[in-house]
Amino acid sequence: MNFLPGKRLIKAFISFVSAVVILIINLLNPVPKPFVPEPEIVEPYTGPTVTIAQNGQSEYKIIRGQNCSPSEKYAAEVLQDYLRKISGVTIPIFTDAEPSAEKEIVVGRTNREGVAGYTVDRASLGDEGLTVKTVGKRVVIAGGEKRGTLYGVFAFLEEALGCRWFTPTLIHVPQASQMKIPAELNFTQKPYFEYRDTNWTNAYDKLYSIANRLNGNTFRSLSEEQGGDVGFIGGFCHTFTTSIMHPSKYFDEHPEYYTLGAVTGVRSPDQLCLTNPDTLRIVIEEVRELLESGNSDGKIVSLTHHDNMNYCVCENCKAVDDYEGSHSGTMIHFVNAVADALKDEYPNVAFETFAYTYTQKPPAHTVPRPNVIVRLCSISCCFVHPIDDPFCVEDVTNNIAFYKDLRAWKKICNRLYIWDYTTNFEHYVGPCNNFGVLQRNVQIFNENNVKGVFEEGNSTGHESNAEFADLRCYLISRLLWNPYLDYDKTMNEFLKAYYGTGWQYVREYINMTMKHSGKFGFHASCMRRMTFPGVFILSPKQVAYCNDLWAKAAELAENETHLRRVRMSELSWRYWKACNKRSEFSRLRPKEEWRAENEALYNDYQKYGIKICSAFAPYFSANPDFYSTPDKWR
Ligand SMILES: [Zn+2]
Ligand SMILES: [Zn+2]
């Protein structure tokens, strides 16, 4: 008998299967035509204008109220500073004691209101809303005295003069010796969310935050002059058994204050027993102490469970959770009790808890008190499909269940916040293809009565900006202020300023990531492995197409800064290829060649200061094995 040797048969079979798979991928993913950037058409404003300064001179004055708020005083100074940067002219600031004149830029509440042909509806604008308009030759920038007027100055600089705060160091300020603005400005902006925050690291910068209207207090604190902030007193999250009821104080003597854990099966110090009356008494005491310790006015106290599944299954907790059909039952009962106990002493304080993992589903019967904030966390979601995608469900992610819970919380909670996820925490340096859902998800939050949003990102972006950290931070900040902004225009403006002439090639790469992620029934959580098909399904020709896009973007870079940014952003693409052994990392190439590509990738991480690769095993190894894929270099 003349049998093929077993090994050869297996090899032949594998080759056949590979050929079929590649054929199918090619059939399903048509080969892209070479990318040709569209001509950039910039339509200049051609309507009537008002000249604010020309040839180094201005007839204008900046007017602020004599007794204006600290942030309105600062707003006038910011305006003066940027107008000087644009035109070279320092326009003087006067108070409204100065006689009224036509050529004024009026900032904030002044005695011009009601007598100079305009009024400002502050009741409707609230603390943060703004209005910008021209009244004859007069320019009016006004809004809430807390920070609305200050936001108004930035909105004026954006809309009328084209300034942008793309990153803390990339601030676009057009130069114009003739500084003109449209003669008929008239717009009003109000926030969609009362609380807007992200921990992408650019957002730690104060000016960036003010300009892009982030107002949380966890990652920056803003003085009264800078408009102040909203947010937390004490811990920000996972406070139970960390900043509140630390086990070192009570666990040895009173293990019954802590969870009879669903996971551990014994009393353990990593969650609380929420039906023990002494637990409640102590938490109220500790929170009262916290509120007495500093300025608590308008603040939020985080009463949030730990990051594990070890909820309490003691008889009392189980009875409540069974009755409520969710572990959020004991949580809402408990947080309501704390909120009730402190509401008379602290009527301006809110008590926040999570609807996270085992508490995601709302209770069937109990309703959060008006002074309770529920922060629903999207940890279970897929981030290549929008949250309201009716088909997005698999073993790890479940947008259908999350969206159902969102709508259920909306019915019972008047201050619903969201904790959303916008990076791949397992692979900070790999592609996270959520550019196609960022806007829609924020719109969904707004349309479901959400009042505050925190977008968690890569909080080590300064040490791992290998995957569009700057772009993502900018888009998120802008979307939290206006979920309905022109997303393409916003992204393209950023890309053009950031990458220079080759920006459209980077944009096309982003379009490819949007088109080819989460296809054919695959999904992507915020912790998915790099080799998972939900990240990308690309044929060899499409991989080559993306390679060409990056090469062209680099070729067109006009200076070192643009080139560096292109190379840094390309690292995420190289990481994906290296993890998946594609293109130059293919194992069909001689061993030493793909090993050298791995080493070159690692060296570029060093060159560009990329040290952190993941939220879980943070630092790249000092001695990686270049015969293994980069997800093993930890
Ligand atoms: Zn219990
Ligand atoms: Zn999905």
pLDDT at res. 20: 72
- Centre of ligand 2 from the C-alpha of residue 524, in Å: 6
Q: For residues 324 and 318, what is the distance between their CA atoms, to the nearest angstrom?
A: 10
- Centre of ligand 2 from the C-alpha of residue 383, in Å: 6
Same domain, residue pair 172 and 244? no
- Centre of ligand 2 from the C-alpha of residue 399, in Å: 7
| Domain housing 108 | 49-190
Same domain, residue pair 526 and 627? yes
Tell me whether residue 20 is in a domain.
Answer: no
Give the chain's residues under pLDDT 50.
1-4
- Centre of ligand 2 from the C-alpha of residue 296, in Å: 41
Tell me whether residue 44 is in a domain.
Answer: no
Give Cα separations from 25 to 14, 33, 433, 541 (angstroms): 16, 16, 19, 10
The per-residue pLDDT for range 438-494, each reduced to its tens digit, is 999 999 999 999 999 999 999 988 888 889 999 999 999 999 999 999 999 999 999
Instruction: Please check whether residue 74 is in contact with residue 103, taking contact to mean a CB–CB distance below 8 angstroms.
Output: no
Tell me whether residue 407 is in a domain.
Answer: no
Same domain, residue pair 625 and 571? yes
Same domain, residue pair 304 and 236? yes
Tell me whether residue 255 is in a domain.
Answer: yes
- Centre of ligand 2 from the C-alpha of residue 386, in Å: 7
Which ligand is the nearest neighbour of the Cα of 386? Answer: 2
Same domain, residue pair 244 and 151? no
**Domain boundary pick from 368, 400, 434:** 368
The per-residue pLDDT for range 219-233, each reduced to its tens digit, is 999 999 999 999 999
- Centre of ligand 2 from the C-alpha of residue 420, in Å: 15
Which ligand is the nearest neighbour of the Cα of 280? Answer: 1
- Centre of ligand 2 from the C-alpha of residue 443, in Å: 18
Which ligand is the nearest neighbour of the Cα of 396? Answer: 2
Place of tokens 């609305």: 148
Instruction: Please check whether residue 72 is in contact with residue 64, taking contact to mean a CB–CB distance below 8 angstroms.
Output: yes
Same domain, residue pair 169 and 244? no
Same domain, residue pair 510 and 595? yes
Which ligand is the nearest neighbour of the Cα of 327? Answer: 1
Tell me whether residue 223 is in a domain.
Answer: no
Q: 525 φ, ψ to 5°?
A: -85, 180
pLDDT at res. 304: 98
pLDDT at res. 569: 97
Same domain, residue pair 516 and 616? yes
- Centre of ligand 2 from the C-alpha of residue 130, in Å: 38
Tell me whether residue 483 is in a domain.
Answer: no
- Centre of ligand 2 from the C-alpha of residue 382, in Å: 5
Tell me whether residue 597 is in a domain.
Answer: yes
Same domain, residue pair 173 and 245? no
pLDDT at res. 15: 64
Same domain, residue pair 244 and 145? no
Same domain, residue pair 338 and 239? yes
CATH code of the domain in which 96 resides: 3.30.379.10
Find the DSSP H helices in 465-618: 469-481, 487-499, 503-515, 540-555, 560-580, 591-607
**Domain boundary pick from 353, 368, 383:** 368
- Centre of ligand 1 from the C-alpha of residue 365, in Å: 19
Q: Long-range contacts of range 402-411, CB-CB < 8 Å, 24 or more positions apart?
A: 402/360, 402/378, 403/444, 405/355, 405/360, 405/361, 405/362, 405/376, 406/376, 406/444, 406/448, 407/448, 408/361, 408/362, 409/355, 409/362, 409/374, 409/376, 410/448, 410/449, 410/450
**Domain boundary pick from 332, 353, 368:** 368
pLDDT at res. 619: 86
Same domain, residue pair 274 and 153? no
Tell me whether residue 476 is in a domain.
Answer: no
Q: How many domains does the chain have?
A: 3
pLDDT at res. 18: 63
- Centre of ligand 2 from the C-alpha of residue 530, in Å: 16
